[in-house]
Amino acid sequence: AHKGKKLPIPGADLPDVLLNTQFLRDVRLAELSDDGHDVHGQVAGKRVLFVNGSPTLGEAVRDLAASVASDSSQPDSLGLLANCYLISGRVTHAQPFIERLLSIDPLTPLNRCLPGWASALEGDFSGAIKPYREMFEMDPGNPMARLFMTWVMAVNGDRSEVESLVSGYSSE
């Protein structure tokens, strides 16, 4: 499995500094279990910096591809690799990782929107609606899910749904 490394900087050994790989694993396990372990509470209300030791997207892709090669059932690596490919506009490269991710972890809302992002990048905005709607319906209280759903409906020209979604934003 892919292992994180502490950065060689002052403060890296402080108790609140977590390894990115361990934190992602803990978050994933907390999402999948009912043991009451509150990983999200570790960062709630705090400033968080997530650091990938690779200075470029290409190196991040290389590192994530190596992680996936060593364990193709690790959803965090699959999702991050798919996202890196999508960020760089390489939709066809992302597709198999999105499909694999959804086959092993279909219940994480963020994973559900990846096919929609891929569709949007290819200019198929109507094809993006279903995945973004699935994500939003799975986590309607998540402001990012609402934002992405609002975006995809706006791009598709559905003014009434955009107005409904916008009215659901908190005034805080």
User: pLDDT (tens digit, 9 = 90+) per residue, 141-158?
Assistant: 888 899 999 999 999 999
pLDDT given at position 132: 95
Token couple for 28: 């994933």
d(CA 79, CA 112): 11
Task: Identify the weakest region by mean pLDDT among 38-42, 54-58, 69-73, 120-124.
Answer: 38-42
d(CA 104, CA 100): 6
Per residue in 126-143, pLDDT tens?
A: 999 999 999 999 999 888
- Helix then strand then coil, % of the chain, to nearest 5: 60, 0, 40
pLDDT given at position 67: 86
Nearest to 20 by CA among 60, 57, 56: 60
Per residue in 19-44, pLDDT tens?
A: 766 666 665 565 544 544 455 555 55
DSSP states along 100-167: HHHHH-TT-HHHHHHHHHHHHHTT-SHHHHHHHHHHHHH-TT-HHHHHHHHHHHHHTT-HHHHHHHHH
pLDDT given at position 33: 47
Mean pLDDT of 49-65: 71
Mean pLDDT of the chain: 81
Mean pLDDT of 97-112: 95
pLDDT given at position 32: 45
